[in-house]
Amino acid sequence: MKFGTKAVHAGVEPDPSTGAIMTPIFQSSTYVQASPAKHKGYAYARGANPTRTALQKSLAALEDGKHAICFSSGMGATDAVIKLLKPGDEVVTSHDLYGGSYRMFKHVFEKYGIKFHFLDLTNIENALPYVNSNTRLFWLETPTNPLMNIIDIAAFVALAKKNKSLVAVDNTFASPYLQNPLALGADIVMHSVTKYLSGHSDVIMGALVVNDDNLHRDLHFIMNSCGAVPGPQDAFLVLRGIKTLHLRMDRHCSNGKKIAEYLAGHPKVGKVYWPGFADHPNHSIAKKQMKDYGGMLSFTLKNDSIEMATLLMESVKLFSLAESLGGVESLINHPVSMTHASIPKEERLKSGLLDSLIRLSIGIEDDEDLIGDLEQALEHVI
């Protein structure tokens, strides 16, 4: 099946007891057993729930993977991956990853004896001095949040294979429509399902997709033991969101391109970070590993002051000033004080995350209206 057909049909069967075309919301915490331990595949809903099972099948199909496991948030999914590790293990990751991932790695897991190296992974050479026999995991996020850097997944997979390490890719920004890390050899794909997969800003959820049966068994064990599972209502909403993922992504991408080009030509705008530009430092890798460039972009103002950035963010009318991304409505965000506030300034500046950086999640509205809104907001900027 091609992607759009999978988005509509994968994992979803008419309900056998009623014929309902939509997967029912199985709002049940436990399941009656015919005799002890004899059941129909569902015993207690932390372990498995039929609405969640349908969603997991759909997610696995979208990523061309064998197994998917859903979690109560993207961070819950990431937490499960790091719990595969033991004290003394080391992780190579990037220095401009999502602030919440940085916070978890640094402030939750470092004290359990796991070592994280936060590096500029846009050039694989930078990672080489940090790879050793303790390197158990490469945690890649590409495109990165919020600077839209691109990391060469296939190149890191080759390095990891030589070192017998795992590669996990946070594929949230691209969505499975634009990028499939398992096909490039990665071991684990992580999604903040909250974003494009759900698509309507009404759910918090995460997911992992893998091919390897043993890895699936271990991650499922962690999920069931630690219990960060989502509820069936949310699974239903995401199943519904996924049916239009391909249509939404096409519009996010075309709007993203128009807005990136508009901002790049604006006299008050400094730098625009968008991997679709031919002069983006890793444009050729983005072109190789992504189907299109997505609806996320960031920019600075020529007048690089936090006051002007704030004025712009207070002046937009159609864009909503809010955290998160990937929904149908356009959002504007100030990473330094919002999504990335947990990253210390020295660490931020190393990756070029300036005080005045503004991040946009471009929705699926009409591009003329979005550009008109930015135009009027930029008029306030001196």
Ligand X SMILES: Cc1ncc(COP(=O)(O)O)c(C=O)c1O
Question: Mind telling me the catalytic residues?
Answer: 46, 98, 170, 195
Measured from the CB atom, is 144 or 381 closer to ligand X? 144
Residues of this chain, 136-195, that bind ligand X according to CB under 6 A: 141, 145, 170, 172-173, 192, 194
By the 8 A CB rule, do 152 and 170 touch? no
Interface map 82-111 toward ligand X (x if CB under 6 A): ----------------x-xx----------
User: What SS3 class is residue 310?
Assistant: helix
Residue nearest to ligand X according to CB distances in the complex: 74
199 binds ligand X (CB under 6 A): no
Query: Taking the complex as a whole, how short is the minimal distance between the CB of residue 171 and ligand X, in angstroms?
Result: 9
Distance CA 46, CA 38 (A): 17
Instruction: Give the count of residues interacting with ligand X (CB under 6 A).
Output: 15
Site string for ligand X, 216-255 (x = CB under 6 A): ----------------------------------------
**Binder to ligand X among 50, 176, 199, 206 (CB under 6 A)?**
206
Q: Do residues 248 and 197 lie in contact, with contact meaning Cβ atoms separated by under 8 Å?
A: no
Residue 6's nearest CA partner among 208, 210, 176 is: 176
CA 180 → CA 63, 64, 381, distances in Å? 6, 7, 40
If the CB atoms of residues 230 and 232 are measured against ligand X, the closer one turns out to be 230
CA 313/CA 340 separation, integer angstroms: 17
Q: Which is nearer to ligand X, 53 or 192 (CB)?
A: 192
Tell the smallest beta-carbon distance from residue 141 to ligand X (Å).
6
**Shortest spacing between CB 72 and ligand X, in angstroms:** 8
Tell the smallest beta-carbon distance from residue 314 to ligand X (Å): 22
93: number of Cβ within 10 Å = 22
CA distance 166 to 156: 10
Number of Cβ atoms within 10 Å of the Cβ of 1? 10
Both structure tokens of 258: 């128009």
Residue numbers 29-88 binding ligand X by CB under 6 A: 73-75
Tokens for 29, please give them: 């915490």
Distance CA 44, CA 104 (A): 29
Nearest approach, Cβ of 97 to ligand X (angstroms)?
7
Q: Which of 43, 154, 204, 264 binds ligand X (CB under 6 A)?
A: 204
DSSP 350-378: HTT--TT-EEEE--SS-HHHHHHHHHHHH
Residue 79 and residue 226 in contact, taking contact as beta carbons nearer than 8 Å:
yes
Q: Taking CB under 6 A as the rule, does residue 338 contact ligand X?
A: no
Interface residue list for ligand X (CB under 6 A): 73-75, 98, 100-101, 141, 145, 170, 172-173, 192, 194, 204, 206
